[in-house]
């Protein structure tokens, strides 16, 4: 067992490393301990703890570094290891599956790999029970182990662009169920109509870590539906504009004339659900988001609009005060140039536009009273991949109408706040050692610090792919067991080319994290765009906390 820091805002306990001789029984025992420890920490209700996530053989604790006592988190992890109390025993869930045909397009390939008939694959897959080790990748996606070695087929060489909701797949000795349509590389052998995740249920995920699953073959049309169907609309899909709630004369709202490159609604994030596979999301630049809200006297977690590189065109149908923070995308209001940090009164009919990117990559538009779309799992933040929050879980479209909340008193605004500037496409980010830093070659951290990386065009809110250098790894002693990912982590796939994980990252991953960007420098990372460059510099926890404390002074009136 080892406890490691995962940056300045997370701790990770690893209960055991993968071993060739490990059996299903050993894996289940370690997983039971991880679930038990996570439950014990949640019960302690430590101040500032935001999320507790159990994985195959590990537990991650996410917290506010300015509120939480790190020693208390470490003590809770150590105490939880020896706590014999547990949650309620996992439930047995039978999952009806239509195997083969359109529902299971890879069944024949799995049969060919195993050297058996498709009917034998179905018999072997359905004859076992499977333990749910963790949820990740997508909200409610269960990672289950114990697939018969004979049919344990590797992932597809090329992932599919779209895997239908309810698809049952195999990836080696793992099996899982896709809760919603998404890209995926697992071998699809069947499909169920059970609703795996519904954000409106009291328990959104159908399955939980520790549950036992039995697959039941059924003929097409005989399986039943549970729930209303989790079918999110993702960015770019066809569909009508979002009209929002029913409007009356007292409701203020904004009309989207042009949506910009990628404009989404974000608040402080969807904390508390990572153990269900739900991304935190929230603003890429949390400082700019909070700064814009503070200028207007909004609550720090009020929802804003996050505009990326090419901003939207918005018409204010009613009077409103606005503030813009973050990158300089040259905003204008009715042809009047605005500056970052200005508080501006908009008349009914006023139009906000953006020009070319001058500095930074993301601007935040706060409106007095905040954006008032419905909360989903406690947050208004948009997570496009899973289709949660915001405007039907997607980016803005032309014709959308965005409702505004009640305006706070103008006397509560903070017009004296001052916003710093962003560099011209290059950032030096301070990092702490990552939770798997020891799994790399001793020279890897030096290479990380000596290299100037370029942000690849294949970068988005989930993560930045970095080009310009390859980090040396140690000879693999076994595939890393999937565990929790951390915001700002420098994750390294087998290619050695790092990925910097950002706000929409998946909650779990199977690549080691060599370093983690400190919380105070995440705003700098957020303002980078493809083609920009980034460097990394190691620092200590004390440096990270000092930098965050200094940043916090801006909101206390001391900076």
Asked whether residue 149 carries a pLDDT value surpassing 80, the answer given is yes
Q: What is the pLDDT confidence band of residue 212, given thresholds at 50, 70 and 90?
A: very high
Where residue 203 falls (left for φ over 0; alpha for ψ -120 to 50; beta otherwise) is beta
d(CA 121, CA 104) in angstroms, rounded, equals 12
pLDDT tens digits, 266-280: 999 999 999 999 999
Domains of the chain: 2-81 (3.30.1360.40), 92-217 (2.40.100.10), 253-412 (no CATH), 426-556 (2.40.100.10)
Q: What is the pLDDT confidence band of residue 231, given thresholds at 50, 70 and 90?
A: very low
Q: What is the mean pLDDT of residues 199-226?
A: 84
Residue 222 confidence (pLDDT): 56
Asked whether residue 191 carries a pLDDT value surpassing 70, the answer given is yes
Asked whether residue 106 carries a pLDDT value surpassing 80, the answer given is yes
Residue 224 confidence (pLDDT): 44
The alpha carbon torsion through 327, 63, 2, 37 (nearest 10 deg) reads -140
Q: What is the pLDDT confidence band of residue 408, given thresholds at 50, 70 and 90?
A: confident
Higher pLDDT among residues 259 and 425, named by residue: 259
Q: What is the mean pLDDT of residues 46-57?
A: 94
pLDDT tens digits, 268-321: 999 999 999 999 999 999 999 999 999 999 999 999 999 999 999 999 999 999
pLDDT tens digits, 328-348: 999 999 999 999 888 999 999
Higher pLDDT among residues 554 and 227, named by residue: 554
Residue 494 confidence (pLDDT): 86
Higher pLDDT among residues 518 and 417, named by residue: 518
d(CA 488, CA 490) in angstroms, rounded, equals 7
Q: What is the mean pLDDT of residues 137-147?
A: 94
Residue 479 confidence (pLDDT): 52
pLDDT tens digits, 236-268: 344 556 555 544 444 799 999 999 999 999 999
Residue 29 confidence (pLDDT): 86
For residue 115, which of 148, 145, 156, 160 has the smallest C-alpha distance? 148
d(CA 300, CA 370) in angstroms, rounded, equals 10
Residues 6+ apart with CB under 8 A from 335: none
Q: What is the mean pLDDT of residues 93-115?
A: 97
Task: Indicate the range of 160-164, 208-212, 416-420, 544-548 predicted with least confidence.
Answer: 416-420
Residue 411 confidence (pLDDT): 55
Residue 406 confidence (pLDDT): 87
pLDDT tens digits, 72-81: 999 989 887 6
Residue 471 confidence (pLDDT): 94
DSSP summary character for residue 525: H
Q: What is the pLDDT confidence band of residue 193, given thresholds at 50, 70 and 90?
A: very high
d(CA 494, CA 476) in angstroms, rounded, equals 9
Q: What is the mean pLDDT of residues 458-473?
A: 93
Asked whether residue 88 carries a pLDDT value surpassing 60, the answer given is no
Residue 271 CB neighbour total at 10 angstroms: 20
d(CA 187, CA 168) in angstroms, rounded, equals 8
Asked whether residue 369 carries a pLDDT value surpassing 70, the answer given is yes
């Amino acid at each position: 067992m080892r406890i490691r820091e995962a940056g300045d805002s997370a701790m990770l306990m690893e209960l055991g490393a993968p071993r060739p001789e490990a059996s299903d029984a050993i894996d289940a025992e370690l997983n039971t301990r991880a679930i038990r420890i996570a439950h014990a920490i949640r019960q302690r209700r430590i101040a500032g703890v935001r999320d507790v996530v159990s994985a195959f053989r590990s537990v991650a604790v996410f917290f506010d570094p300015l509120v939480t006592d790190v020693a208390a988190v470490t003590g809770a992890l150590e105490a939880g290891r020896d706590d014999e109390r547990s949650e309620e025993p996992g439930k047995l869930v039978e999952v009806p599956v239509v195997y083969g045909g359109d529902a299971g397009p890879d069944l024949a390939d799995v049969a060919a790999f195993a050297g058996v008939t498709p009917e034998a694959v179905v018999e072997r897959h359905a004859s076992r029970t499977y333990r749910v080790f963790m949820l990740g990748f997508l909200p409610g996606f269960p990672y289950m182990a114990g697939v018969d070695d004979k049919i344990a087929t590797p992932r597809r060489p090329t992932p599919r662009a779209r895997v239908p909701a309810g698809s049952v797949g195999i990836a080696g000795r793992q099996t899982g169920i896709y809760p919603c349509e998404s890209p995926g590389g697992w071998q699809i052998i069947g499909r169920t109509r059970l609703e795996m995740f519904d954000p409106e249920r009291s328990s959104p995920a159908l399955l939980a870590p520790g549950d036992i699953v039995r697959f039941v073959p059924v003929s097409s049309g005989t399986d039943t539906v549970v729930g209303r169907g989790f079918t999110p609309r993702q960015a770019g899909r066809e569909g009508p504009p979002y009209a929002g709630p029913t409007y009356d004369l007292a409701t203020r709202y904004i009309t989207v004339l042009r949506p910009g490159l990628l404009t989404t609604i974000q608040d402080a994030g969807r904390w508390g659900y990572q153990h269900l596979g739900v991304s935190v999301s929230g603003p890429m630049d949390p400082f700019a988001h909070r700064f814009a809200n503070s200028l207007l006297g909004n609550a720090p977690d009020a929802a804003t609009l996050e505009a990326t590189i090419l901003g939207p065109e918005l018409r204010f149908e009613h009077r409103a005060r606005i503030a813009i923070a973050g990158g300089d995308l040259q905003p204008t209001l009715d042809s009047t140039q605005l500056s970052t940090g200005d508080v501006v009164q908009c008349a009914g009919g006023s139009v906000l536009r953006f020009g070319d990117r001058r500095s930074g990559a993301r601007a935040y538009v706060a409106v007095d009273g905040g954006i008032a779309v419905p909360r989903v799992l406690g947050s208004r933040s948009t997570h496009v991949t899973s289709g949660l929050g915001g405007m039907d879980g997607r980016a803005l479209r032309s014709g959308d109408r965005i409702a505004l909340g009640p305006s706070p008193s103008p006397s509560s605004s903070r017009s004296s706040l001052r916003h710093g500037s962003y560099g011209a496409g290059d950032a030096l980010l301070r990092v702490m050692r990552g939770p798997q830093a020891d799994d790399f070659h001793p020279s890897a951290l030096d290479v990380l610090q000596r290299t100037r990386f370029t942000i690849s065009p294949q970068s988005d809110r989930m993560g930045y792919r970095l080009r310009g250098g390859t980090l040396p790894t140690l000879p693999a002693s076994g595939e890393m067991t999937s565990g929790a990912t951390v915001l700002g982590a420098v994750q390294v796939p087998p290619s050695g080319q790092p990925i910097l994980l950002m706000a929409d990252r998946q909650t779990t991953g199977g690549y080691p994290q060599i370093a983690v960007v400190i919380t105070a420098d995440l705003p700098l990372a957020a303002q980078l765009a493809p083609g920009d460059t980034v460097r990394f510099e190691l620092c200590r926890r004390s440096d990270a906390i000092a930098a965050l404390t200094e940043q916090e002074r801006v909101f206390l009136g001391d900076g």
